[in-house]
Amino acid sequence: RKEVEQDPGPFNVPEGATVAFNCTYSNSASQSFFWYRQDCRKEPKLLMSVYSSGNEDGRFTAQLNRASQYISLLIRDSKLSDSATYLCVVGRRYSSASKIIFGSGTRLSIRP
Amino acid sequence: EAGVTQFPSHSVIEKGQTVTLRCDPISGHDNLYWYRRVMGKEIKFLLHFVKESKQDESGMPNNRFLAERTGGTYSTLKVQPAELEDSGVYFCASSPSGREQYFGPGTRLTVT
């Protein structure tokens, strides 16, 4: 079983729709949580950190449920430019080091 | 502010040859990470430097891979001798705190 699991998609939704992704993680010692987006043949770019209290950045809302060990990302009023792969990333610290584990990504395609 | 840079962007070598990848982190970022994405798989952690010290190299596949970060600035990742299964995209990331990480554009390595 992978440590970070995501639905690979693809999600194909019309412009203006609301779309939600979920991600589950198996290691309860995980301490930090992120969503990255990756465009085709590009590097991952940090979209947002995810906190227990939830956080919002414009059209994007991220939630963390520690009890159930899942993270969600909600995109409202989706734009064509939102088409990308969304990577769920989970981190944990041990000793003086930190390690992050990537999910395999969820592909999103927004159609006009 | 300049982002993480990587060189070369693309390298094609024959099995058995040596390749050295370079990463220049964002200035002032003590944390530097190497990752690899093999086609069709998720991004996998290779190792983590804090300044010039290796904090975690548990993700290095085998002893054909050698990473250095002399002086705590740029880092190199050498593969010697390269094998076919080493093909993939090698990403470098840096972080000021060990939390959010900022990725370089990657080096696409093809071993033929």
| DSSP code of residue A112 | -
Tell me how long chain A is: 112
What pLDDT sits at residue B72?
A: 86
What pLDDT sits at residue A1?
A: 79
What is the sign of the dihedral through the CA atoms of B32, A57, A51 and A78? negative
Structure tokens given for A110: 């927004």
What pLDDT sits at residue A31?
A: 86
**Three-class secondary structure of residue B86 per DSSP:** helix
Task: Name the minimum distance, in Å, from the CA of A10 to any CA of chain B.
Answer: 14
What pLDDT sits at residue A72?
A: 95
Which residues lie closer than 8 Å to B93 by C-beta, 6 or more apart?
B4, B32, B33, B35, B101, B102, B103, B104
Q: Which residues of A touch B (CB under 8 A)?
A: 2, 4, 32, 34, 42-46, 49, 87, 91, 93, 95-105
Cβ of A101 within 8 Å of Cβ of B45? The answer is: yes
Tokens 């290691």 -> residue = A27
Q: How many CB atoms lie within 10 A of CB A43?
A: 22
What pLDDT sits at residue A96?
A: 56
Which residues lie closer than 8 Å to B100 by C-beta, 6 or more apart?
A34, A46, A49
- With a pLDDT cut of 70, the percent of chain A lying above it is 96
Instruction: Establish whether the linkage from the previous residue to A44 is cis, with ω within 30° of 0.
Output: no
Q: Could you report the per-residue pLDDT of B59-81, keeping only the tens digit for each?
A: 999 999 999 998 889 999 999 99
Cα–Cα distance between A1 and B22 in angstroms, integer?
33
Cβ of A97 within 8 Å of Cβ of B55? The answer is: yes
- With a pLDDT cut of 70, the percent of chain B lying above it is 99
Q: How many CB atoms lie within 10 A of CB A56?
A: 12
Instruction: Give Cα separations from B47 to A12, A70, A86, B33, B36 (angstroms).
Output: 35, 26, 23, 6, 10
Q: Say yes or no to pLDDT of B84 above 80.
A: yes
Tokens 């010692």 -> residue = A29
Q: What is the mean pLDDT of chain B?
A: 94
